[in-house]
Amino acid sequence: MSEAAGPPSMGSEGPKDRKKGGIISKLRRRLTVQGDSETIDGAMIASLKEGKATEVAEDHHLHLRCAVTEYSGVSKKGHAPYNPRKKNQDALIMADDPATNTLILCVLDGHGEHGDGVSAQFRDQLAMEMMSHPSWSTDVKQAAADAIAKVEHQVIRNFRIDTEFSGTTLSMAIVRGNTLTGVNIGDSRVILGLEKDGGLVAEEFTHDHKPDSPLEKERIVAAGGRVFAVEYDDGIDGPPRVWLGHMDVPGLAMSRSLGDAVAHTAGVISDPEFTEKELDPSSDRVIVVATDGLWEFVNNDETINLLFPTPGPAEAVDCLVKEANARWMQEEQVIDDTTVIVAHLFDFKATDE
């Protein structure tokens, strides 16, 4: 989760971390930037009791005629000791269309006070909008782009969801036959596991939209925005973030997102970036789609190495979520919401290797 800032904290060198609580201060370096508001992630800092974890899991054997033969996904709420009423702001979509032999695997990472509302609306509407698009059967990229724009417009117009400082990322794998199309907005990610020398190696399929990437930064600066990392009193910097030219908000740690009205005035865009490849039955074995609850502390190679010994997608998902959660607790004493989907290709079975 990479969130936008709350009220501004002005200064010539950028915003400073003024909170004294060790857990909250450490958390904000990776998850969020806040001003002196009483709320973080939309809940009062009122208790250190842990809220009950919530988890949404699905497991499927595919009956479509496409490269994916089995897949599983889970979206697990994180843990924040200061926030007993924390919601899971992540969401996942796993939808199939037998008429076109197409499978949609998508993760969403909401951020800001209303981030859960933004990701939930995309979860509930996006797949249907894509499949009902006039170009769905002939052009998945056009259908996806138009559907994403339509749902974003609906979210912005939803009076129950304030998107001024709230939004979501989106990373999606669309498999039609043996063709894989990646769709990415923000810093969630799709990777592939390829068979090589009796094992699996990772290949990054979508690429994170970071504010300090040269082309992304050029666009933001041209729009009047600024890109820099927060300077903390102890000298530890957070990730590069997007700020307005005249005020230290919103502090968004990505250069593309859905929603985030204030950030969009500073050059952040919601345009999806597409990648495409023809899957190879002789080498392509696994697709992983995940939010940065996984990617923050588990890199691409580690992800593939962790799932390789697992017998199926359900076990792989469970392994990855547990490992990511353990690393979050070790590094930050909090756990980000974590959503992971694993899909096996061409009847791949790790135990048979």
Show the domains of the chain with their CATH numbers. 43-211+272-352 (3.60.40.10)
Provide the pLDDT for residue 83. 85
Give the pLDDT score at 233.
74
Neighbour-count burial for 316-344, b at 16+ CB within 10 Å, e otherwise: bbbbbbebbbebbeeebebbbbbbbbbbb
- In sequence order, the β-bridge partners of residue 242 are 227, 252
Given a contact cutoff of 8 angstroms between Cβ atoms, the answer to whether 336 and 284 are in contact is no
Find out whether 320 and 303 touch, Cβ atoms under 8 Å: yes
The mean pLDDT of the chain is 85
pTM of the model: 0.84
Q: Would the pLDDT of 57 be above 80? A: no
CA distance 164 to 167: 8
The three-class DSSP label of residue 304 is: helix
| The predicted structure's pLDDT at residue 63 | 59
What per-residue confidence (pLDDT) applies to 85?
87
DSSP track, 173-226: EEEETTEEEEEEESS-EEEEEEEETTEEEEEE-S----TTSHHHHHHHHHTT-E
Which of 22-36, 47-61, 327-341 holds the top average pLDDT? 327-341
The more confident residue out of 224 and 308 is: 224
Tokens at residue 210, please? 């970071």
At residue 236 the predicted structure's pLDDT band, cuts being 50, 70 and 90, is low
Average pLDDT over residues 102-107: 97
pLDDT attached to residue 321? 97
- Residue 322 contacts residue 59 (beta carbons within 8 Å): no
Above 70 in pLDDT, residue 60?
no
